[in-house]
Amino acid sequence: MRAIDRNLGSCPVCHQLVHFPKRDPEHVAAYCPRCGSEVFPRKRSSLEYTLALTLASIVFYIPANLLPMMHVHTFAGTQSDTIMSGVIYFLETGSYLIGFVIFVASIFVPVLKMLILLYLVHSVRTGKSRFPKERQRLYLLTEIIGRWSMVDVFVVSIMIALVHFGGLSSIEAGTGAVFFLLVVIVTMLAAMAFDPRLIWDPTKEHHAH
């Protein structure tokens, strides 16, 4: 038995249990008696927002990989590195751990998160009812791994600070870093927009959300 079957829902602000006057998940809202927030049985247009944000993150991810993440200025000249060229550089210089971490955080994790979100949206839209526990775990995985995508941005920030402190050369963040930051933010918003309760709803309710 689900809470929605008893006309109950949770306030998104204070998590107070709220009773809905009647069963109409698409249109009827209630107001939280504790904080006064508007409460719906399910997030409104959850799948549409999730899909739109995920597609936007894919668009941002293309220039994030093609454009330089940073520009290194030395006496010998200027060198610009993309995400992949940076990974290759660390591997060639023997810094395997750093190269591996950047590859996982900047390439593997974002792609995995986007694929999971697309799969979840597709599974709910098509009324897929098999393996709900596994799909719930996939959603939780997107929330856990999402924050690790910021590692590459942190690496660039730390290198800029350290190099400027040394004073012998300088590092500037490239345009690719801006697009990559947008990828991280938009995928986080996409995961927040998705309502995991839709995974457990009967097939007949899927297309109402």
Name the average pLDDT for the chain: 79
Alpha-carbon distance of 162 to 28, in angstroms, equals 55
**Structure pTM?**
0.76
Is residue 49 predicted with pLDDT exceeding 90?
yes
**pLDDT per position as a tens digit, 122-148:** 999 887 777 888 999 999 888 887 666
Alpha-carbon distance of 131 to 141, in angstroms, equals 15
Would you state the structure tokens that stand for residue 44, as one six-digit string?
């409104």
Is residue 180 predicted with pLDDT exceeding 50?
yes
Structural domain spans, the chain: 1-41, 44-206
112 pLDDT tier (thresholds 50, 70, 90):
very high
pLDDT at 209: 44
Is residue 196 predicted with pLDDT exceeding 50?
yes
194 pLDDT tier (thresholds 50, 70, 90):
very high
Topology (CATH level 3) of domain 44-206: Butyryl-CoA Dehydrogenase, subunit A; domain 3 (1.20.140)
**pLDDT per position as a tens digit, 56-84:** 999 999 999 999 887 776 666 677 778 88
Sign of the C-alpha dihedral computed for residues 14, 9, 189 and 44 taken in this order:
negative
